[in-house]
Amino acid sequence: MTDEETATNPPSDHDSPWKEALEGWFPEFLALLFPAVHTGIDWSRGHRFLDKELQQIVRDAETGRRYADKLVGVHRLDGQPA
């Protein structure tokens, strides 16, 4: 796409609504799609999105195909961070 085409037809942002939903409903998302993972998390300790840390990891990694763009810190039931 040329600069002119980008200016008149900006790319659609299909990613942001999903990220917002994930941040708002993270425990429910895991319960629905990854129930075994959900049951292994100590939800009383909360969870934390680590976007800045993920950006650092991605920046330091070799360029190439990337899949993950959300990183979440939780604690397992045994107390270990994950």
Task: With cut-offs at 50, 70 and 90, classify the pLDDT of residue 76.
Answer: very high
pLDDT value of residue 52: 74
pLDDT value of residue 61: 58
The answer as to whether 4 is a domain residue is no
What is residue 25's DSSP assignment? S
The answer as to whether 53 is a domain residue is yes
The answer as to whether 80 is a domain residue is no
Average pLDDT over residues 75-81: 97
Side chain identity at residue 67, one-letter code: Y
Counted domains in the chain: 1
Residue 43 CA to residue 74 CA, distance in Å, equals: 8
The answer as to whether 39 is a domain residue is yes
The answer as to whether 40 is a domain residue is yes
pLDDT value of residue 33: 94
pLDDT at 36 over 80: yes
DSSP conformation letters of 50-78: -HHHHHHHHHHSPSS-------EE-BBTT
